[in-house]
Amino acid sequence: MTKVDVPPSTDAVQAVARTGARRPGRRAAGRNWAPTAFLLPIAAVFVVLYAVPLAETIYYSFTDFNGFSTDVNLVGLANYRTIFTDPSLLTGLGFTLAFALATTLLITMLAIPLAVVLNKKFFGRSLVRSIFFFVGVPSQVILGLVWQYIFSPLNSGALNSVLAKFGMDPVSWLADPQIARGCVVFVAVWAGVGWHAMLYLAYLQAIPADLYEQSQVDGASGRQQFFHITLPQLVPAVVVSSFLLITGGLRVYELPFAMTKGGPGYATNTITQSIILRGLAQSDYGVGSALAVLFTVACLAVILVQLRLAGIVSKRFA
């Protein structure tokens, strides 16, 4: 018998075409869902640990919740009015903003020249770099306790003992409000300069050496090289460093608390310490929550302004 090839019918061809057209679409849809599936655990963690607590905090800021009673009453804006009429809370807000601004400016002004020096070749350079870096490695609590002993206003304090050997009277380092604020800022700067200098050093080592060689051929001085080559090339590092310093300064808690417990009086009290004391120690969750809400809004405003300024500066030196 002779085998005869029968051409497929038109319906069969269309069915195969539809099946083939659908299969790539299904595979593409599966590939599109894959990234979303990986993001679901992160989204769940964000909702559980951030979104839900934030929503509860906003709600409690309008109530008289004390952390124990189930009888919760809405009090409107009473908690927010308490914040703006409480001298201790206003003092904590002022010191927190001043601390964040002062540490950011001072560390940036000291870390950049230090990084430039550490980028030069000299004997023992690696050892010196390690010393400056490891100064900021210990926790803020340990640093605070050590410097509390050094700045102790008593005659037995380390610094006052040295002054006594030279016949000088003891200084009320942590007992005077103004001096105590300065001591806290000093320790924060002392601990942070080395770490941020290493950050700037990493960016310095990425600057092409050809730029300096060409400037030397053109007769540029070291000062001109710094302001026209080094500093513009460090703009991205300044943005990163200042962002870390601002955010860290706004949420500072461990160092001032370890050194002064917020004293003398409320001189070195911070916003985070006020939130913990009012919300937990004094069982005033309403005021503590309202303070946390205002603090969050203030942090967002400062960060947005900083990012805006960083964008302008980056475009200027691009």
Q: What pLDDT tens digit does each residue of the chain (318 aa) get? A: 455 555 555 555 555 555 554 555 555 555 667 777 788 888 888 888 888 988 988 998 898 888 777 788 888 888 899 888 888 888 888 899 899 999 999 999 999 999 989 888 888 888 888 888 888 788 888 999 999 999 988 887 889 889 888 888 888 898 899 999 999 999 999 999 999 999 999 888 888 888 888 888 878 887 888 888 888 888 888 888 988 999 889 889 999 999 998 888 888 989 888 888 888 778 888 888 898 898 888 888 888 887 888 778 767 766
Only one residue has tokens 């800021």, namely 61
Portion of the chain with pLDDT greater than 70, in percent: 89
Q: What CATH number is given to the structural domain containing 174?
A: 1.10.3720.10
Containing H/E element for 104? helix 87-118
Which of 267, 302, 284 lies closest to 90 in space, CA to CA?
267
Q: Return all residues near 315 (Cβ < 8 A) that are at least 6 apart.
A: none
Residues 213 and 98 in one domain: yes
Are 90 and 231 in a shared domain? yes
Q: What is d(CA 25, CA 244) in angstroms, rounded to the nearest whole number?
A: 45
The reply to whether 100 and 9 lie within a common domain is: no
Residues 131 and 200 in one domain: yes
- Residues 311 and 163 occupy one common structural domain: yes
Residue 63 lies in a domain: no
**Within-domain flag for 56:** no
Residue 86 has a pLDDT of 85
At 295 the pLDDT is 86
Q: What is the DSSP string of 220-272?
A: --HHHHIIIIIHHHTHHHHHHHHHHHHHHHHT--HHHHHHHTT-STTTT--HH
Q: Are residues 289 and 223 in the same domain?
A: yes
Domain encompassing residue 4: 1-43
| Residue pLDDT, tens place only, 152-173 | 888 878 898 898 888 888 888 9
Tally of structural domains, the chain: 2
pTM here is 0.80
Q: Is residue 193 part of a domain?
A: yes
165 part of a folded domain = yes
145, containing H or E segment? helix 140-150
**Same domain membership, residue 109 and residue 38:** no
Query: Does 74 fall in a domain?
Result: no
Q: What does the pLDDT read at residue 1?
A: 47
39 in a structural domain: yes
Residue 38: the pLDDT is 80
Same domain for 164 and 243, yes or no, is yes
Verify that 35 and 146 share a domain, yes or no: no
